[in-house]
Amino acid sequence: MDRFRELVALIQAEYSCDRFFANYDQKLTVPELGDDYRTYERTLHFLDPESWAELRTKAVKHFMDQRPGQLKQGFFNQLNDAFAYRHLVRRGYRQVRVLRENSKTQPDLEYFDGCERLFCEVKTLGLSDLEIARRHVPRRFRSSIYYQLDECFLSKLRSTLDVAQNQISARGSGMVYLIMHFDDFTLEHYDNYRKQVHSCLQEHTANNVYVQVGLRGRRHIEKAPKNTGSGLHI
């Protein structure tokens, strides 16, 4: 059984009054939305059975976490752990696993580099409140508002890195993995964005950060540990 479809079935059983995944098969035919669901499906299959069980539990638990304009934000943020898991496996790290959620401050994943035990915290930077509001107003906006990332976004990025680094430090050291969604989904000004994000990463004390831009595509921005070299990657 497809893992995402399995998750949908669990959600429908646990939250029978919620209609978010009603007509799921029909939603798969909707451009962008169906592609996103299929992207999650392919990525979830990288997880080992135990990690899938843990991530599935966390996703169901946080299904009702959301904010106006972004339904089920907490649910999808949990699933984003799978992207970090896939990244670590592809990089050749061993014994990658999703950690069980508890009341203590801790990261989301554990992995090994040789004999060294490391940890990974996964964070998602979603659309701004301003962009959500704009998408609900039937009027046009000047494209210049997307030319650069504003200080509000950069401040949120810095605070997110602070929180992620603190969660990793509770157990040891490792990688911060960010899923980043820009307000301008066309990425017309992506060159400006990546330079700003890269500058922010270089100024922050976290020394190992990987930014995945969106759910699909290969755009990323990376700050690697000094002993392995660091720089701007796209």
What's the pLDDT score for residue 140?
67
* Structural contact between residues 158 and 196, judged by C-beta atoms closer than 8 angstroms: no
In whole numbers, what is the pLDDT of the chain averaged over residues?
91
Quick one: which of 167, 162, 172, 170 has its CA closest to 206? Answer: 162
Q: Residues, the chain, total?
A: 234
CA distance 45 to 79: 12
pTM of structure: 0.91
End-to-end CA, the chain: 35
* Helix/strand/coil percent split, the chain, to 5: 45, 15, 40
Domains and CATH numbers, the chain: 1-64 (no CATH), 80-228 (3.40.1350)
What's the pLDDT score for residue 91?
96
The string of pLDDT tens digits covering residues 170-188 is 999 999 999 999 998 889 9
Q: Would you say the C-alpha torsion 225, 227, 231, 234 has a positive or negative sign? A: negative
* Structural contact between residues 150 and 157, judged by C-beta atoms closer than 8 angstroms: no
The string of pLDDT tens digits covering residues 12-37 is 999 999 999 999 999 999 988 999 99
